[in-house]
Chains A and B, each alone.
Chain A
Amino acid sequence: MMDRLRPSFEEGGKLHAFKSVYDGMDTFLFTPSETSKSGVHIHDSIDSKRVMIIVVLALLPCMLFGMYNTGYQHWLACGAKEFPFWELMAYGFLAVLPRIVVAYVVGLGIEFCVAQLRGEEIQEGFLVTGFLIPLICPVETPLWMIAVATAFSVIFVKEVFGGTGYNVFNVALVTRAFLFFAYPSQMSGDNVFVATKPILGLGGTAPDGFTGATPLGQIATADLASGAGVTPIGLDGVAIDSWQSFLGLIPGSFGETSTLCILIGAVILLATGMASWKIMVSAVAGGLAMGAIAHACATPLYPMSFVSPLDQLMLGGFAFAVVFMATDPVTAARTETGKWIYGFLVGAIAILIRTYNNGYPEGAMLAVLLMNALAPLIDYCVVEANVARRRRRARVLTD
C-alpha cells in the first residue's frame, strides 16, 4: 500500500506537501530498503527508532504507576476509604491522556513543519520527549500551558539548533523549566500536584481549601522553630516514611513519584545498553555525597538538610532526573571520563539546590539543565587531555 501511495507524495504529486510525513510513516512501518552505497556492506540492526522505543518502554512503568497514583491521590483528597483499582487507573488515564495528546500534537506538528521545510523525513526524536513531558508535569497543569511550553522548547531548544541530535539542552526538561519560570504561581505551591475534580463522572470533588503539598514542598516550608519535624505528611494524614517514598504513593509530578518504577526503567535501559551506567552511578554517588554533607551540617535555616541522604534520593524528581534526563546521550557528556564527572555533578548540584534554596524545593531539573550547559566544557577538557598526550609524545621524539 505504501508503495502504491508513493507517487502522490513525490515532487509534483497531489500530496507533496506531506512528503515528510509519508516518509516518516513509511520508514516507521517498513524497514527502509536503502542499501549501503559506500563503506561497510552490512549494518547493525540497531537504529535510532529502536533506541527511542526502548526508552519509551522503560518509561511505561512510570506512566502506569502515575495513572494509578493520580487516581489514588484524588481518592484520598476526596476522603475516600476504599480504592477500587480499575477506577483509579481509569481516572489517572483520563487525567493524563489529554496531556499526552497535547504534547504530541504540538511537538510533532512543529517537527512535521520543520521536516517539510528542510525536505527531510520526519524523525523519531520527539517520540521520547512527548512521552516525558506529561510525566514530569504536575497532573493539574493546564493544557494550554503544556502546549505553549512544548512549542517553545521544540522550536527554540531543538529545531533552531538543527533538530534531533544537535540540541544542547534536554527538550522535555526545558518544557518543564519553561512552565516553572513562566507560570510560577500556577506551577508551584500546593494546588497542582493532586487532581481535585471528577473526570467524566469518575472520582469526586475534593473539599474546598484542600491543599496537597508534595513532601519536598512540606519539608522546605517546615517550621522547625515550632518543634515540628521534617517528616512530610501524606494526604491520609499519616507520615510518609522511606518505604512509601520508595513505592511512590505520594503527591508529586505525574510519573516521577515512584522510585521503584524508575528503578525498573533503569534496569531496562541498562540491560539493553541504551543509557550510560556511568552517569547513573556517579549521579547517585554525587547525590549521596552532597546529601551526607548537608545532613552532617544540618541547620534549621534549611529544613531539607535534616533529611537523610537516602531519603533525599527517593524524594521528588531526583531519581527520575538521574535515570531518564541526565542520561540523554545528546545533551550529556559524550566522553567516557566526562560521564563520570557530569553524573557526579548532576547528583551533587541537585541536592545542593534542593537543600539550600528554600524558594525552589526541587533541584534536579535545574541541576540537569546546568550540567547540560557544562557538558561540552567537560568533554572539551577530556578531549584536550588526549590532544596534550599526543603533543607530548611528538615533543619527546623531536627533543
Chain B
Amino acid sequence: MGKPLRIKRGLNLNLSGAAARPAGIAAIPMAEPETIALVPDDFTGMTPKMDVREGDRVECGTALWHDKECAEIKVTSPVAGTVKSVVRGERRKVLAVEITPDKGGIAKCAPGNAVGDAEGFKAALMAQGVWVQMRQLPFDTVPAPTGVPRDVFVTAWDAAPLAPDMALAVEGKTGMLEKGVAALKKLTTGEVYVGRAAGSGIADIAGAVMVDVEGGFPASLPSVLAANLKPVNKGETVWLMDAITLARIGQVASGEGVDWTAPVAVTGSEVTNPHYVIAPAGASIKSLIADGLKKQGHERVISGNVFTGVNVGADGYLRYPYTQVTVIPEGDDVDEFMGWASMSPGKMSESRSFPGHFLKNKLFRPDARLNGGRRAMILSGQYARYIPMDIMPEHLVKAILARDIDRMEALGIYEVTPGDFAAAEYADASKLELQRIVREGLDYLRKETI
C-alpha cells in the first residue's frame, strides 16, 4: 500500500494510435538499429568534451564525452560498436555522436564490482553514465557533483498521451529497484519517494516511500511529486528520475552491468501499426517504426510524447529520456476555412465552446498547428488549472520574461521544470511557448546565480 495522492489539476488527452500493451516484456520484439546516436544537448547543465573520434571502437559503457567542469561525469555508449561520426554544427558544437552497433544483437554492459561506500558508488554512477540520467531541482539539470540531495523523487508511471506503460520496463526488476533505493539512501539525507499510478501493477519497493498518484499530466512528473509532497526551497537540492533509471542505479550498485535497453512504445495516429519494441537508448527511429507510416500527408515524428518530446524527423534518433515515439500529422498542408468558428466534433479542446470537449471517449487526431495566433496573456487562471503546484504560474512566467531574479525566486522557480508547464502550454489560448520561456528562465538564473 502506498500513500494516496490525488492530483486534480492536469490533463488526460485521448489520442488515436495507442500501442496495445503486450502481456509481458518477453512478448516484445527486439529492434536492431543500424545506427544509434546520443545528443549532448539532452544533458542540460553539461558542457561536453569529446572522448571519442570517428572510427573509434567503443564497448558498452565506454565514455563518449565528459563534462568540462567535472571530468568524472561521463556519458557512455549504450552499445558496443564503432563511432560512425561526431556530427558538428556551428562553431564546432557537437550536435550528436553516432555509433554503428556490432552485428549480432545489443548486449548488456559487462558486469563490474559491487560498490560499497557512498563515494565509491557516486564515482561508479558517474563513470558508468547513469549519473547524467538523473535530474536535479533546482534548474532541471544533470545533478551537480557536490550537491547532497534532500530527497529523491522517482516516477514509475507516465501520464502523457499514448505513453508506454512503465510497469513493463521494470517488470521483474523489483530487486534492482530495491538495490537502487538502498544505494541512493546512502547519498541523500532524506527519503526516496516513488510515485506510481494508483492501481498499476508495480510492486512495493522496500526502503522507498511509495505514493499512489491519481491524475492527468503532469501528475506523473517527479517534480510534481516533489511539489505536492515536499516542495523544494531555495538552497535545497532534490534529485528526480524515472524508475528505469532507478533500476540502472541498482545495477550499478550491485555490480551488474547496466542494461541500456528499454521497451519503447511506437505510437500516434500516423503509425500504421502502433506497437512496443525493445531498443537501446539512442536507437534510430527508422529501426523502431517497423511497418512504416501511413503517409497521409506531411507528418511530424516526435521522440517522446506530444507534450515534452522532441521533433526529430523520420531520420532522427530516440532521445534522452524518452521510451516513446509519436507520429502525428504536421498540418502545415491543411487549409481550414474559419477554424475559429468551427463546431466540428473533430476539434480537440479543453474549452466547452467546442463539441469535441464533451466527447470523452473519442480518440482525436490533432496535428502540430498552433490553431491560432500568438497573443498577450488574455484569459486568466488558465495556466494554474493545469499546473498542480502551489505556485502562481502566470506571475512566474511574467517574472521570467522580465528576467527579474528576485521575483522568480519569490514565486518558486526552484520548484519547477519546463515539463510542468506543458499541459498549460497545450491549453493556452494565447499560444505562448511556456516550456521554452521556463527553460530559458532556468538557464538564465543558473548562469547568474552560480
Contacts and interface: CB of A to CB of B under 8 A. Distances in A.
B23 interface: no
Task: Label chain B's interface by main secondary structure.
Answer: loop
Nearest to B372: A47
Contacts of B430: 48, 165
Contact of B306 (A41, A47, A51, A389): A41
A332 B380 contact: yes
Interface in A21-70: 27-51, 53-54
A370 B273 CA distance: 60
Given A39-B436, A166-B376, A332-B380, A44 B349 contact: yes
Interface string A109-130: 0000000000001010000000
B422 interface: yes
Nearest to A328: B378
Contact of B427 (A29, A44, A330, A339): A44
Interface string A156-187: 00000011111000000000000000000000
Interface string B13-28: 1000000000000000
Given A45-B354, A162-B376, A164-B376, A39 B328 contact: no
A289 B19 CA distance: 58
Interface stretch (A10-18, A78-86, A218-226, A269-277): A269-277
A52 B81 CA distance: 58
Interface string B401-442: 000000000111000001000100111111101111000000
Given A30-B337, A394-B234, A46 B376 contact: no
A385 to B, nearest CB: 10
A211 B376 CA distance: 46
B369 interface: yes
A123 B375 contact: yes
Contacts of A335: 380-381, 392
A145 to B, nearest CB: 29
A97 interface: no
A38 B433 contact: yes
Interface string A267-309: 0000111101000000000000000000000000000000000
A377 interface: no
A334 interface: yes
B367 A42 contact: yes
A40 B11 CA distance: 13
Given A31-B339, A43-B426, A43-B431, A48 B332 contact: no
Interface string B318-354: 0000000010101111111111111000011111111
Interface of B: 13, 231, 233-236, 300, 302, 306-309, 311, 326, 328, 330-342, 347-354, 356, 366-373, 375-381, 384, 390-392, 394-395, 410-412, 418, 422, 425-431, 433-436
Given A30-B336, A31-B340, A47-B429, A164 B378 contact: yes
18 contacts: A30-B335, A30-B336, A31-B340, A32-B370, A39-B433, A42-B366, A42-B426, A43-B366, A45-B339, A46-B353, A49-B373, A164-B378, A334-B394, A383-B392, A383-B395, A383-B411, A387-B411, A390-B390
Task: Label chain A's interface by main secondary structure.
Answer: loop
B422 A165 contact: no
A329 interface: yes
Contacts of B384: 336
Contact of A329 (B326, B332, B339, B379): B379
B341 A47 contact: no
B390 to A, nearest CB: 7
Interface of A: 27-51, 53-54, 121, 123, 162-166, 271-274, 276, 329-330, 332-336, 339, 379, 383, 386-387, 389-391, 393-394, 397-398
A35 B336 CA distance: 14
Given A33-B335, A336-B384, A397-B233, A45 B378 contact: no
Contacts of B231: 390, 393
Contact of A165 (B377, B433, B436): B377
B313 to A, nearest CB: 13
A42 B392 contact: no
B352 A40 contact: no
Across the A-B interface, the 6 shortest Cβ-Cβ residue pairs: A47-B372, A165-B376, A31-B339, A39-B435, A334-B380, A49-B340
A397 B351 CA distance: 41
Contact of B392 (A45, A162, A166, A386): A386
A164 B375 contact: yes
Contact of B436 (A31, A38, A379, A393): A38
Contact of B371 (A37, A44, A53, A276): A44
A31 B369 contact: yes
Contacts of A274: 353, 379
Contacts of A333: 380
Contacts of A53: 340-341
Contacts of B338: 28-31
Contacts of B418: 39
Given A33-B334, A51-B378, A43 B370 contact: yes
Contacts of A44: 348-351, 371, 426-429
A41 B331 CA distance: 11
A336 B385 CA distance: 11
A48 B378 contact: yes
